[in-house]
Structure 1
Amino acid sequence: MRLVIFTEPQQGATHDDLRRLAQVAEDTGYDGFFRSDHYLTMGGAGLPGPTDAWTSLAALAVQTSRLRLGTLVTSATFRLPGPLAISVAQVDEMSGGRVELGLGGGWFEAEHTAYGIPFPPLGERFDRLEEQLEIVTGLWGTKVGDTYSFAGKHYQVVDSPALPKPVQSPRPPIIVGGAGKKRTPALAARFADEFNTPFAKIEDLPAMYQRVRDAAEAIGRPTPPAFSAAAVLCVGRDDAEVKRRAAAIGREVDEMRGNGGIVGTPDEVVDIIGRYGEAGATRLYLQTLDLADLNHVELVATAVAPQLS
Structure 2
Amino acid sequence: MKLGLHINRFRWDGGPERLGPTLAAMAHAAEAAGFDTIAVADHVWQHPILGGTEGPSFESYSTLAFLAAHTQRVNLVALATPVSYRYPGMLAKTVTTLDVLSEGRAWLGIGTGDYEEEARGLGLPFPPQRQRYDMLEETLQICLRMWSGESGDQQPDQGEHYQLARPRNLPQSLSRPHPPILIAGDGERRTLPLVARYADACSLRPTPELPRKLDVLRSYCEATGRDYDAIEKTSVFLFDPGEDGAKSDELIERLRWLAGMGITKVLAWVEGADRISPIEAMGRTVIPAVADL
TM-score normalised to the size of structure 2? 0.89
Deviates more, 1:147-156 or 1:225-234: 147-156
2:196 to 189, 195, 200: 189
1:50-89 counterparts in 2 under 5 A? 50-89=57-96
The residue aligned with 1:273 is: 255
The residue aligned with 2:280 is: 298
Q: CA deviation at 1:51?
A: 1.7
List per-residue Cα deviations over 1:29-74 (Å, max 9, x = no partner). Answer: 1111111100112226645x43211111112112211111111111
1:139-158 counterparts in 2 under 5 A? 139-143=146-150, 146-158=153-165
Code of the aligned partner of 1:236: G
Percent sequence identity over matched residues?
A: 31
The residue aligned with 1:28 is: 33
The residue aligned with 1:215 is: 220
- Is the CA contact 2:157–2:167 (under 8 Å) kept in the aligned structure 1? no
- Is the CA contact 1:148–1:161 (under 8 Å) kept in the aligned structure 2? no
1:234 to 240, 244, 247: 240
The residue aligned with 2:7 is: 7
SS across alignment from 2:173: coil
- Is the CA contact 2:201–2:232 (under 8 Å) kept in the aligned structure 1? yes
- Is the CA contact 1:175–1:195 (under 8 Å) kept in the aligned structure 2? yes
CA distance in 2, matches of 1:232, 1:63: 24
CA distance in 1, matches of 2:140, 2:148: 12
Gaps of 5+ in 1: 243-264
- Is the CA contact 1:104–1:177 (under 8 Å) kept in the aligned structure 2? yes
TM-score normalised to the size of structure 1? 0.85
Q: CA deviation at 1:181?
A: 1.3
Structure 1 pair 115/16, CA: closer, same or farther in 2 (3 Å)? farther
CA distance in 1, matches of 2:182, 2:237: 16
List per-residue Cα deviations over 1:95-130 (Å, max 9, x = no partner). Answer: 000111110111101111111112111101111111
CA distance in 1, matches of 2:53, 2:271: 14
Gaps of 5+ in 2: none
Deviates more, 1:136-145 or 1:52-61: 136-145
SS across alignment from 2:254: helix
Code of the aligned partner of 1:221: R
Q: CA deviation at 1:138?
A: 1.2
Q: CA deviation at 1:170?
A: 0.5
- Is the CA contact 1:76–1:129 (under 8 Å) kept in the aligned structure 2? yes
Bigger RCO (CA 8 Å, 6+ sep): 2
Q: Does 1:167 align with 2:149?
A: no
CA distance in 1, matches of 2:41, 2:11: 10
